[in-house]
Structure 1
Amino acid sequence: MDNADASRLAERTRAEFGEIDPLFGEIDPFSAIIRTTQLPMVVTDPRRHDNPIVFANPAFLRMTGYERFEVTGRNCRFLQGPGTCPKSIARVREAVRAERSIEIDLLNYRKDGSTFYNALHLNPVHAKSGTLQFYFAAQLDVTERYRLIREREAANEALQEALAVKTTLIHEIDHRVKNNLQMIAAMIVLQSQRIPDPSTRASMLDTLQRVEALGTVHRRLHQSESASRFDIADFVRDLVADLVGATGRSDIRVELDLASAVIHADKSVAVALLLNEIVTNILKHAFTEGRPGTIAVQVAAGSEIRIVVEDDGIGMPEAAEARSTFGQSLMGTLARQLGARLTVASAPRKGTRVELILSG
């Protein structure tokens, strides 16, 4: 279409679009606003072949780089290119066919071939009779928004990659620590076999159990998807099974009521040692002389984490005796390190009840 044809088409459309006030012969205020606004706008005429543009305001021309005569009389698809999403184009075509509004972002092309993201708001304009007369399209260059989204996605991807590397390294450290603890445990076993004094040998075996508890912690951390979080419930399940199994006794029952209770990995070692001492003390002192019984462990998570270990054994030793043991002293030290509340009392089943409350 040459300049003369474009001008004639524009002139034929002006009266219908309302650019000239029929009473005063002056520029219609509404039309003047559309011309001067910084929001790109076009009007198309579906009554003409191929629904051509019959009006484009200066903001649209600035956004696309075209002259008025280059867009008037053409379908808006000239803004599309190889990168424009076919599904989005199909949605626009369907909206035009159905004579309904649509809001959609399209990748469009300027006259110079550069691309921009166009936030299109397309609305049909009907006469009072209901007949479709025009399509009115307001548009906005939102390329900057997409650039920021891409930058944020790239930054998130880089952060995720860095986190994955960090997690892998920490897991590798946990794996190596676990292996080293296994070597230490093996050396303790060998050394204990050479010690003739029963009390010294028993003390060495107590240390062995503490080392093995630490090994269980690092095994759990190595297997965990997160290198910074530690689930107490999973650890308790392993610890109790290992300690009771090590006694070789089948007459000690275990009751577990374990809710997932996640703490930061920094607390895992102290919690593991503390629970090891609690369960070990019960196995040593509650079921003496072949007395059968039950160990019940409950883990509950809420605003605080509550761990209860209870038995139905012979009951608590004298308070003075309890304070004199290394295990009791270690338990108190670990509880203070965790900022936890630790109470030891008689259990309803006439055994011992130990309750540990700590923050997550």
Structure 2
Amino acid sequence: MSADEQDDLGASAGRVEFEGGGPGAGGSAGIPAGDALADDSAMLAGRHQGRHWRESTITDDDLSKRGGPFFAAVEMTRMPMILTDPRQPDNPIVFANKAFLDLTGYEEQEVLGRNCRFLQGPKTDRDTVSVLRDAVKAHEPVSLEILNYKRDGTPFWNAVFIGPVHNPQGELLYFFASQLDVTRRRASEDSFRQAQKMEAVGQLTAGLAHDFNNLLTAIAGNLERLQARLEQPDLRRRLDVIQIAADRAAHLTRQLLAFARKTALDPKPIDLSDAVLGFVDLLETTAGSGVELRLDLRRRLPACLVDRTHLESALLNAVANARDAMPKGGEITIATSRLHLNGDALSRELPSGDYVVLEVRDEGEGMPPSVVARAAEPFFTTKSQGKGTGLGLAMVHGFLQQSRGRLEIESEVGRGTTIRMILPAHMAASEVETRGELVEPAKLAPRLSAENSKLVLVVEDNEDIMALARETLEEMGHRVLTATSGDEALRLLHREGNRVDLLFTDLIMPGNVNGLGLASELRARAPEVPVLLTTGYNEELAQGTRVPGMDVLAKPYRRAELMDRVRGALARHGEGTKRRRASDFGPAQE
């Protein structure tokens, strides 16, 4: 008999055979699902047994008696096993235990007498088949993972060990093959690799956003100054266009940071239904005139601890997506509810407990499973070029993960889509924040008199941003000291003693001391001095690390924003400090 006649266990020279419905996935390998070590221990056992049988031998009589102890043991094991006979044409299966039949879904009479290639299907890797075929032709043991198919057509990843069995004279009698369904392990590995990839993309994205925010701060700041001093209407219109573009770029960097989970959140207990009602006018505007907005809001929900601004942004993104999915109009439903997770918490990758749910449902075109699986990936979009960045749902996903929640997307082609945002409940209801009247930005106040002027230490390594900050503060009437690193700022603080009234510092700077370190050092030595931090991105702030008495101004910022935040910092922390106590930076002064 030729080697081609012997063939391999499951190897095929281009022909695919299916039985009872063709190829198919998942399933049990006959090993308890709760045994976390089943995959590895079983594969190791298979390798050990294969080497033992090849180095020792088994008599032909041992294998010819189906009622003997060998077959009884193999039949009882929970690992799927088969024997094939290379002495017969096409190396057919001559024995299959119950675990193998349970794994594949076949009956015994359907597998006996057939070559194992019937387990293959259209997505079985041909290179893997070639490795298996070569080992069988050479009568060598082999272990590998191959995509096989069940009787009902579902695919499963099969960890196969194949070993030759010889008689005392060294003649090849059989091939022994053990199998193990490792589909869930492969899926976990794929998920882990995807998570690693997304983490790498997030780190890159956050770094880019930081650099762009520095550039945009300089661009927007200088534009404001030109707009304030330019008289020609035509040139002012051109500057307005540039300003709008800069604002859009700033919004894009905020989305990038939200996706990367590097945004500094300010979570407060809020009522989810009240939060929706608080800006329903903006939601209606976003939905557009051709879409009917329907609210299904539950009362007396537990509060959730969340950043209101980012929640509103996430909801606006979901509503905008729902609107775009219904070009001919339709109905968008915004619903809130409560959810308790117990036994099903693990499947949703959340701890057990109480949650509140915000859903956005549309009657649009829906999405196929392949699109749903990628909908929250950054830069993935099905919209035409120029119609979307692919960051909307990625931003929502990042925000919810950072808020210890979860994003779920359900969709069916022709049946619409549901975007579900799940947030952990916060039971301290008495602390719930309510939305008050929106406060307009403060009007530009007149320049301070000399006696009310404060000394501000500005720490910024970007020269353009430094110049803008200095000019703005001097326009307010303040005196300004500047430093380009945390180390230089510390030296200035020691030199100036207790004269500094406000520290305005960037977070990421060259040298041994970053903005947080500088703020902590200052607060330890002179706790009455207010600190205003500015950042385009910072890991520590995103994770909630703060210094008491510290305010944060996100880049890119407007001139009016900087003025308001400086006034606020001085007002909150400067009152009642006309007579300061002694500090480590110098003697007390009146």
TM-score between both structures, scaled by the size of structure 1 = 0.47
TM-score between both structures, scaled by the size of structure 2 = 0.30
Larger fraction in helix: 1
